[in-house]
Amino acid sequence: GAVVSQHPSRVICKSGTSVKIECRSLDFQATTMFWYRQFPKQSLMLMATSNEGSKATYEQGVEKDKFLINHASLTLSTLTVTSAHPEDSSFYICSARGLAGVAATDTQYFGPGTRLTVL
């Protein structure tokens, strides 16, 4: 139980294009979803927190116009990297915090991550 999926797992795009990453909680409803960015051999850096039906809360230094987050339902959140540039290349990971049932309410369950490469 408590499975989170991400799609795509890997994406390569040209500079200037936009890329959408989906995060789904498969067997539980998520009150809150989080988006992280991770550089090689580094820790996870929280980008934003989103609650279903609300605007996302972005961490300091994260450009909200560049990283658009939509949390349309209790099982789906999307991150769109707009006008991507090579410096946006990174490993993007989402996590979901559950309501009840298979997912403990205090626990964040992480997706498998999306490797973005911008050429």
Partner 1 sequence: QQQVKQSPQSLIVQKGGISIINCAYENTAFDYFPWYQQFPGKGPALLIAIRPDVSEKKEGRFTISFNKSAKQFSLHIMDSQPGDSATYFCAASTKSNTGKLIFGQGTTLQVKP
- Contacts with partner 1, residue ranges (CB under 8 A): 4, 6, 32, 34, 41-44, 46, 49, 51, 57, 91, 93, 95, 97, 106-113, 115
CB of 24 to partner 1, least distance (A): 13
Q: What's the closest the beta carbon of residue 73 comes to partner 1, in angstroms?
A: 18
Q: For residues 33 and 99, give the distance between their C-alpha atoms in angstroms, rounded to a whole number.
A: 11
Q: Is residue 87 classed as helix, strand or coil in its secondary structure?
A: helix
| Distance in angstroms between the alpha carbons of the first and the last residue of the chain | 37
Instruction: Please give the torsion angle defined by the CA atoms of residues 63, 12, 73 and 64, in that order, rounded to the nearest 10 degrees.
Output: 10
Pairing of strands 10-13, 114-118: parallel
Q: Which one, 18 or 42, has the nearer CB to partner 1?
A: 42
Residue among 38 and 70 whose Cβ is closer to partner 1: 38
**Which lies closer to partner 1 via its Cβ, residue 14 or residue 41?**
41
